């Protein structure tokens, strides 16, 4: 969904404006700083899909030497420009996601039980918080069968994105 | 496990995008809300300007303007009798609503809550009775209520309710009804916007009368009849009380001005509706005569020649004070209370046109002269407005409330906190100020206070601490912008004065929706409101886009689009972030702007009789128009005369700097059903532009077209 312009003066300027705008949405005090906990949201909303680990690395790059809990725009901007122009952390294509679900679906039944999903999401990889798990379940879980029909779920989410 | 990480990564991104959308939605609502405030202020400045500089040259104009400024003054006690004559209002046998008798008992108050839960309406007689008693009680309260936690163990403070009865009922359900053991403070803005403002007032006043030591109310900026004209309370009262509405509205003025300005708990916690300023002086606030401030929107000055005995009279001597004594149109039949009548073809008699032309000319002449005397461009500026419009900067003693005192109250009721240090004028709202942490610190120290509790601003979570937890904003109207937009909250304080916050959302459906669905719903609502605003500025947008389309290709870059949008709308929105929601068809990252604007227009209207440019003006100024109509319709009958209607347009077009031709007005009138005697039903007119009953109008139009008389010059293709 992101407009990407590579190179060129105008393209760079536009990119910077875009990043700045997204940053400002979370800049509550209007002083070009953002709470470090919101950086992830900003980066992701700009079109990137880093893992938590990658996100931590990015934050480390832009944090102050003595972490203040805030990230300044002047540090964030160049980093983000680089990330976007290098097209790092691309979003995951749908078919790859489907494959991921299928890998977890050891029984190959086309669905995951609630317990299975919860186990994987909260114990494996980069675990979800309870809140994240609950939220995912609220949309993904089919209450009648208590399963996650992941094909349908994916299809619905993809439509929603657009 | 790679698969798990993949899914988690993807999911987190999805949530982040939702969060971004949610934030943007919030920003949209807020910016639109506040720009509405500014319009309101501009409107009042405009009228004040007229009062000060306009010399009507004909009886018509005099009447017209005097309508708008029908005196606002408090009733003398002798008049109170006639106005408050609720005893003569009979309650019919078939009335199934609650009954109220005095002295008021707790059971009565509880019964009211129950009755309103069941959607009953309180009879006008009881409404007036309660208002009368409330006023009597409020008069003897000080400007600042001093209360203590030693009386009842806990004090619950609630913020804005804005006519949302569900929230009040929920608070009483969750926290318990008021009682000698359970104190409440309601921090203003009980009315406007929501549909049950009068019911909320009745409940609040009832409990206040029943438990005077435990139940306290502060005045908010919406406890003000001028604000009510715009934001819905006036409309609600007139709609629910068709016969006695006017009396009720007048009584409300009398009651609102007597509401206390602040509450102080244990001399340590100050509760005010808006905020403070660096000039806030509690001693001054304690001493001033609060009831002299009928409205914080308009500072009324004492003119030169005036009898000392009179109170609160505001307009210069040459204005006849009783409006409508001379009918402005010869044929005035008794109003038919706004019901739909059969369509009748309009006839424009030549002499009306003459009067009309003459009025138009003289108005323009006067305004021009006025412009030469004073810089009219003040109204077109986007710079910070000072309200009220003051042509004399020196303070003018006004029977006890001078300008300094007036400003103190405005600050209390309208200010907002800001993160930066300092104190500056609140340009967003048009009144009061933005106060920084140092101002808070300064005031807290000066009066040995611990912290402030205020309301006035909608917060996503229902509450928010700022200024190092020295300022707590508490907002009790959940789902304020839209179902799912925000929570409401209230705060409880015990003798330790440590705030305990309780949050809620008074709508069952929000619980069953997923976050995605909730956000989508609110977002759609915000985008709809935004698109309306965009449509209202179509012409300016087109001009701006054209200026970027240097090669005349009808395409502009998306970057230029973003810049143009902000330059026209001044809403401070993140246009690049919002773009995907607003602009769906791009070719090579370029936008074909004309068709985009056309699409916008199509969404809003499919009414061909009215010029789209005129419609645009209407949309942009819809709330202003409605407010103006209501001001003119001073007897709240729902009808204004045809002449008044046209005169409004003339004044309006000069103010808005739009050229509206006679033909356009003619067209517009044709689309409206108005009857032969020259009266226009306001509601019908406004409803038309709400596009609620579009098909009805289309039917009428075809009828009208068929029976058109000699006005073939009103062709609908008038020159703009």
3-state secondary structure of B309: coil
Residue from B70, B231, B251, B125 nearest B635 by CA? B70
For B71-93+102-300+403-511, give the CATH class.
alpha beta
The predicted pLDDT at position B330 comes to 28
Range from A123-137, B45-59, B124-138, B264-278 carrying the lowest mean pLDDT: B45-59
Closest CA to B204 of B116, B86, B293: B116
Question: Top-level CATH class of A94-157?
Answer: mainly alpha
Contact B155, B185 (CB under 8 A): yes
Contact assignment for A101 to B3 by CB distance below 8 Å? yes
Instruction: Please name which of B358, B298, B383 lies closest in space to residue B59, comparing C-alpha atoms.
Output: B358
The residue among A160, A161, A162 with the most chain B CBs within 10 A of its CB, best to mutate, is A160
In 3D space, the residue among B195, B203, B227, B48 whose CA is nearest the CA of residue B111 turns out to be B203
Query: For residues B113 and B600, which has the higher predicted lDDT (pLDDT)?
Result: B113
* Cα three-residue angle B327-B63-B347, rounded to 5 degrees: 50
Class of domain A5-86 (CATH, top level): mainly alpha
* Whether B222 is catalytic: yes
Q: Cβ separation of A125 and B7 shorter than 8 Å? A: yes
By C-alpha distance, the chain B residue nearest A150 is B7
The whole-number pLDDT of residue A123 equals: 86
Q: Is B74 in contact with B103 (CB distance < 8 Å)?
A: no
If one compares B68 and B428, the residue with the highest pLDDT of the two is: B428
- Could you give the 3-state DSSP secondary structure of residue B492? strand
Residue A3 per-residue DSSP state:
-
Of B381-395, B487-501, B704-718, minimum mean pLDDT range: B381-395
Give yes or no for residue B148 having a pLDDT over 60: yes
pLDDT confidence of residue B477: 94
In order, the DSSP letters of B647-707 are HHHHHHHHHHT----HHHHHHHHHHS---TTSEEEHHHHHHHHHTTTHHHHHHHHHHHHHT
For chain B, what are the domain ranges? 71-93+102-300+403-511, 610-704
> Which CATH entry fits the domain spanning B610-704: 3.20.20.70, 3.30.70.1290, 1.10.357.10, 1.10.238.10?
1.10.238.10
Contact: B419, A29; criterion CB under 8 Å: yes
pLDDT average, residue stretch A118-129: 85
Q: In this predicted model, which residue has the larger pLDDT, B464 or B660? A: B464
Q: For position B150, what pLDDT does the model report?
A: 80
Given the residues B44, B108, B216, B222, the one annotated as active site? B222
Give the residue, B255 or B60, on which the prediction is more confident: B255
Say whether residue B559 is in contact with chain A using an 8 A CB cutoff: yes
Burial (CB count <10 Å: 0-12, 13-18, 19+), residue A138:
middle
Q: Poorest-confidence range of B24-33, B485-494, B625-634?
A: B625-634
Mutation for testing the A interface, residue in B4, B23, B560, B583 having most A CBs under 10 Å: B4
Q: Percentage of residues in chain B with pLDDT exceeding 70? A: 61
Residue B23 scores a pLDDT above 70? yes
List, in order, residues 6 or more apart from B231 with CB less than 8 Å away: B192, B193, B222
Identify which of B534, B527, B593 has the alpha carbon closest to the alpha carbon of residue B560: B593
Q: What is the pLDDT of residues B475-517, one digit of tens each?
A: 999 999 888 788 999 999 988 999 999 999 877 665 666 667 7
Give the closest-approach CA distance of A65 to chain B in angstroms.
Answer: 24
More confident residue, A41 or B86: A41
**What is the pLDDT at residue B397?**
35
- Say whether pLDDT at B616 is over 80: no
Give the pair of three-digit tokens for residue B41. Answer: 């202020």
CB contact under 8 A, A128 and B574: no
Rounded Cα gap, residues B404 and B407, in angstroms? 5
Is the pLDDT assigned to residue B326 strictly greater than 70? Answer: no
Judged against a pLDDT cut of 70, whether residue A142 lies above it is answered with yes
Helix (H, G, I), strand (E, B) or coil at A49: coil
The residue extents of the domains of chain A are 5-86, 94-157
Size of interface A-B (CB pairs under 8 A): 127
pLDDT at B381: 32
Query: Among B24, B27, B559, whose Cβ lies nearest the Cβ of A14?
Result: B559
Nearest Cβ partner of B5 from A21, A51, A132?
A: A51
Residues of B in contact with A5 (CB under 8 A): 589
Report the alpha-carbon distance of residue A99 to residue A95 in Å, rounded.
6
What is the rounded average pLDDT of the residues A70-83? 89
- Contact partners, residue B134, CB within 8 Å, separation at least 6: B205, B208, B209, B255
Angstrom CA distances, A148 to A117, A124, A143, B106, stand at 8, 18, 9, 53
- How far does chain B reach from its first CA to its final CA, in angstroms? 68
Contact B19 A139 (CB under 8 A): no
Residue B519 three-state SS? helix
A99-103, A112-116, B237-241, B696-700: the lowest-pLDDT one: B696-700
The predicted structure's pLDDT at residue A48: 87
Q: Are B13 and A44 a contacting pair at CB < 8 A?
A: yes
Residue B685's pLDDT is 61
More confident residue, B574 or B67: B574
Across the range B631-652, mean pLDDT stands at 66
Does residue B515 belong to the interface with chain A, where contact is any CB pair within 8 Å? yes
Q: Does B434 touch chain A (CB under 8 A)?
A: no
More confident residue, B602 or B200: B200
Identify the closest residue of chain B to A101 by CA–CA distance.
B3
Measured from the Cβ of residue A8, the count of other Cβ atoms closer than 10 Å reads 10
**Other residues' Cβ atoms within 10 Å of the Cβ of residue A12:** 14
If you average pLDDT over residues B364-390, what whole number do you get? 36
Give percent above pLDDT 90 in chain B. 30
Lowest mean pLDDT: which of B84-88, B400-404, B537-541, B675-679?
A: B675-679
Of B3, B9, B562, the CB nearest to A104: B3
Best mean pLDDT range from B74-78, B260-264, B314-318, B403-407 = B260-264
The domains spanning A5-86 and A94-157 adopt the same CATH topology = yes
Is 90 exceeded by the pLDDT of residue B75? no
ipTM given for this complex: 0.87
Which has the closest alpha carbon to B415: B472, B451, B385, B455? B455
> Around Cβ B357, how many Cβ atoms within 10 Å?
12
pLDDT at B104 over 50: yes
Whether B710 shows a pLDDT value over 50: the answer reads: no
- Judged against a pLDDT cut of 80, whether residue B637 lies above it is answered with no
pLDDT at B534 over 80: yes
DSSP, residue by residue, B183-250:
EEEE-S--SSSSS-HHHHHHHHHHHHHH-TTTEEE---TTSSHHHHHHHSHHHHHHHH-TTTHHHHHH
More confident residue, B335 or B609: B609
pLDDT of A45 above 80: yes
Does residue B410 contact residue B296 with C-beta atoms inside 8 Å? Answer: yes
For residues B630 and B43, give the distance between their C-alpha atoms in angstroms, rounded to a whole number.
13
First and final C-alpha spacing in chain A: 8
CB contact under 8 A, A25 and B574: yes
Q: What pLDDT was estimated at residue B39?
A: 65
- For B306-322, letters b (16+ CB in 10 Å) and e give eeeeeebbbbeeebeee
Q: Please check whether residue B54 is in contact with residue B370, taking contact to mean a CB–CB distance below 8 angstroms.
A: yes
Stretch B158-183: mean pLDDT, rounded?
Answer: 93
What average pLDDT score do residues B452-465 get?
A: 94
How distant is the Cα of B520 from the closest Cα of chain A, in angstroms? 10
Q: Which residue of B has its CA nearest to A21?
A: B574
For residue A25, CA distances in Å to B46, B124, B295 come to: 34, 48, 35
Q: Mean pLDDT lowest for which of A119-123, B454-458, B495-499?
A: A119-123
- Give the CA radius of gyration of chain B: 27
Q: Do A45 and B576 touch (CB under 8 A)?
A: no
CB B469 within 8 A of CB B498: no
Kindly identify which residue of chain A lies nearest to residue B590, measuring between CA atoms: A3
Nearest chain B residue to A161 by CA distance is B14
Strongest mean pLDDT among B543-552, B672-681, B700-709: B543-552
Average pLDDT, chain B: 72
Q: What is the mean pLDDT of residues B454-468?
A: 93
Q: Search chain A and give the residue with CA nearest B515.
A: A135
DSSP string, B251-289: HHHHHHTTS-SEEEETTTEEE-SS---TT--HHHHHHS-
d(CA B511, CA B629): 41
pLDDT tops 80 at residue B61: no
Q: What is the pLDDT of residue B670?
A: 53
pLDDT of the residue at B391: 32
Residue to substitute from B2, B13, B20, B23, interface A, most A β-carbons within 10 A = B13
- pLDDT bracket for residue A62 (50, 70, 90): confident
């Amino acid at each position: 969904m992101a407009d990407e312009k590579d190179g060129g003066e105008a393209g760079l300027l536009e990119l910077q404006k875009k990043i700045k705008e997204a940053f400002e949405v979370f800049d509550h005090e209007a002083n070009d700083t953002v709470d470090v906990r919101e950086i992830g949201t900003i980066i992701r909303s700009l079109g990137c899909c880093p893992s938590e680990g990658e996100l931590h690395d990015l934050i480390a790059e832009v944090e102050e030497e003595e972490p203040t809990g805030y990230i300044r725009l002047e540090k964030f901007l160049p980093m983000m420009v680089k990330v976007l122009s290098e097209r790092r952390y691309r979003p995951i294509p749908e078919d790859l996601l489907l494959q991921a679900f299928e890998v977890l679906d050891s029984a190959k039944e086309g669905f995951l039980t609630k317990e299975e999903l919860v186990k994987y999401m909260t114990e494996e990889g980069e675990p979800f918080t309870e809140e994240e798990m609950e939220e995912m379940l609220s949309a993904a879980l089919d209450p009648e069968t208590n399963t996650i029909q992941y094909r349908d779920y994916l299809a619905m989410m993809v439509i929603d994105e657009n | 496990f790679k698969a798990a990480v993949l899914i988690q990564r993807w999911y987190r991104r999805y949530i982040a995008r939702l969060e971004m959308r949610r934030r943007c939605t919030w920003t949209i609502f807020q910016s639109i809300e506040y720009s509405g405030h500014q319009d309101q202020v501009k409107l009042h400045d405009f009228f004040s300007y007229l009062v000060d500089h306009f010399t009507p040259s004909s009886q018509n104009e005099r009447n017209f303007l005097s309508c708008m400024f029908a005196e606002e003054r408090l009733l003398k006690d002798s008049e109170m009798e006639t106005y408050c004559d609720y005893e003569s209002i009979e309650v019919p046998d078939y009335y199934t609503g609650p009954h109220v008798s005095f002295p008021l008992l707790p059971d009565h108050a509880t019964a009211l809550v129950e009755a309103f839960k069941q959607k009953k309406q309180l009879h006008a007689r009881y409404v007036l009775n309660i208002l009368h008693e409330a006023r009597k009680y409020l008069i003897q309260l000080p400007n600042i209520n001093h209360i203590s936690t030693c009386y009842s163990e806990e004090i619950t403070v609630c913020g804005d309710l804005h006519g949302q009865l569900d929230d009040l009922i929920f608070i009483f359900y969750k926290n318990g009804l008021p009682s000698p053991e359970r104190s409440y403070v309601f921090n203003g803005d009980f009315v406007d916007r929501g549909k049950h403002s009068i019911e909320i007032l009745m409940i609040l006043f009832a409990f206040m009368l029943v438990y005077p030591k435990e139940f306290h109310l502060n005045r908010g900026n919406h406890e003000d009849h001028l604000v009510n004209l715009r934001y819905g309370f006036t409309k609600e009262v007139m709609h629910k009380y068709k016969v006695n509405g006017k009396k009720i509205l007048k009584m409300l003025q009398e009651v609102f001005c007597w509401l206390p300005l602040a509450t102080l708990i244990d001399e340590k916690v100050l509760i005010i509706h808006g905020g403070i300023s660096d000039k806030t002086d509690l001693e001054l606030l304690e001493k001033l005569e609060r009831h002299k401030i009928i409205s914080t929107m308009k500072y009324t000055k004492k003119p030169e020649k005036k009898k000392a005995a009179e109170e609160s009279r505001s307009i210069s001597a040459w204005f006849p004070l009783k409006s409508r004594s001379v009918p402005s149109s010869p044929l005035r039949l008794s109003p038919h209370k706004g019901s739909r009548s059969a369509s009748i073809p309009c006839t424009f008699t030549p002499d009306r046109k003459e009067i009309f032309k003459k009025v138009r000319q003289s108005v323009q002449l006067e305004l021009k002269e006025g412009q030469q005397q004073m810089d009219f461009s003040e109204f077109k500026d986007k710079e910070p407005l000072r309200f009220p419009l003051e042509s004399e900067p020196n303070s003018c003693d006004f029977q006890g409330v001078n300008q300094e005192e007036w400003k103190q109250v405005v600050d209390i009721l309208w200010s907002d906190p800001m993160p930066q240090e300092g104190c500056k004028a609140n340009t967003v709202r048009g009144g009061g100020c933005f106060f920084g942490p140092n101002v808070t610190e300064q005031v807290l120290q000066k009066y040995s206070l611990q912290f402030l509790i205020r309301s006035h601003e909608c917060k996503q979570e229902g509450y928010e601490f700022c200024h190092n937890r020295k300022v707590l904003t508490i907002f009790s109207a959940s789902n304020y912008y839209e179902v799912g937009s925000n929570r409401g909250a209230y705060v409880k304080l015990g003798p330790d004065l440590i705030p305990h916050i309780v949050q809620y959302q008074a709508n069952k459906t929000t619980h069953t929706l997923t976050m995605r669905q909730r956000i989508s719903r609110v977002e759609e609502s915000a985008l709809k409101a935004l698109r309306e605003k965009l449509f209202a500025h179509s012409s300016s947008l087109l001009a701006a886009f054209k200026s970027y389309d240097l090669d005349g290709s009808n395409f502009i870059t998306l970057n230029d689009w973003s810049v143009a949008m902000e330059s026209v709308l001044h809403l401070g929105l993140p246009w690049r972030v919002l773009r995907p929601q607003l602009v769906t068809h791009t070719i090579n990252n370029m936008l074909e702007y004309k068709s985009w604007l056309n699409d916008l227009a199509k969404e809003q209207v499919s009414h061909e009789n009215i010029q789209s440019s005129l419609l645009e003006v209407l949309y942009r100024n819809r709330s202003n128009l409605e407010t103006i109509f209501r001001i003119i319709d001073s007897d709240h009958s729902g009808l204004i005369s045809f002449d008044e209607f046209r005169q409004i347009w003339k004044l309006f077009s000069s103010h808005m700097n739009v050229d509206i031709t006679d033909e356009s007005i003619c067209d517009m009138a044709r689309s409206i059903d108005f009857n032969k005697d020259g009266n226009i039903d306001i509601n019908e007119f406004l409803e038309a532009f709400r596009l609620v009953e579009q098909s009805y109008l289309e039917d009428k139009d075809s009828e009208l077209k068929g029976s058109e008389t000699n006005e073939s010059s009103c062709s609908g293709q008038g020159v703009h």
